[in-house]
Amino acid sequence: MITDKLNNIGIYRGINSNLDLAINYILANDISVFAAGRHTIIEDKLYLNVDEYTTKSLPEGKLEKHNNFIDIQILLQGDELVGYTALDNQDVITEYSADNDVAFYKGDNVLMPLKKGDFMIFFPNDLHMPGITDNCSCQIKKLVFKVKTC
C-alpha cells in the first residue's frame, strides 16, 4: 500500500508497467472532469470508476481484496478513513468473485485518513476498507483507477 499527496504520484513510476500507464495518464489529463460511472482508458489494462457516495460507520465496512487489479484511489471531494491491513489469514466474508475481481474479509485493520488531494495505491495483497467515517457522514467523490496487474 502506498499513500501520498497527488502531486507526488510521479515518483512511483517503475513499480509496474501498467501502473506507469495510469500514472502517466493521471499526470497528463484533467482527471477532475469525469462524471460518475465507469470509463475505459486502455482496453483490458486500465479503467476508471468515478464513485460518489456517503461515508459509513466502521461496523458497516468490509475489507476488500482484488486479485487482478491494482487500485489507485484519488479523493476529489470530502474526507474519509480507509481501513488497511496486509492479507494474512483473515476470515473470508464473501469468497472471491472472478467476475467482479473482489473478495471480502473481516479482521483487524488500521484506519488511515484520505483527504482531498491524497491518493492511495492498493496491490493484490492489500486488504482495504474505503468510505469510513469516525463521526458524521460526508459526501465523497473519488476516482478509482483499476490497473491490470500484468
Residue 23: band (very low, low, confident or very high) from pLDDT cuts 50, 70, 90 = very high
* pTM above threshold 0.85: yes
Contacts for 2 with CB less than 8 Å, ≥ 6 apart: 12, 120, 121
Segments making up each domain of the chain, as ranges: 2-148
Place of cell 468473485: 97
Report the pLDDT value the prediction gives residue 136, as an integer from 0 to 100. Answer: 80
- Identify which of 63, 45, 52, 47 has the alpha carbon closest to the alpha carbon of residue 122: 63
First to last CA, the chain: 17
Q: Report the alpha-carbon distance of residue 145 to residue 150 in Å, rounded.
A: 15
Question: At residue 42, what is the residue type?
Answer: I
Convert the pLDDT of each residue in 29-68 to its tens digit: 999 999 999 999 999 999 999 999 999 999 999 999 999 9
| 2-148 CATH, one of 3.10.20.30, 3.40.50.720, 2.60.40.10, 2.60.120.370 | 2.60.120.370
C-alpha cell belonging to residue 78: 470530502
Which residue's C-alpha cell is 481501513?
Answer: 83
| Structure confidence at residue 131 (pLDDT) | 95
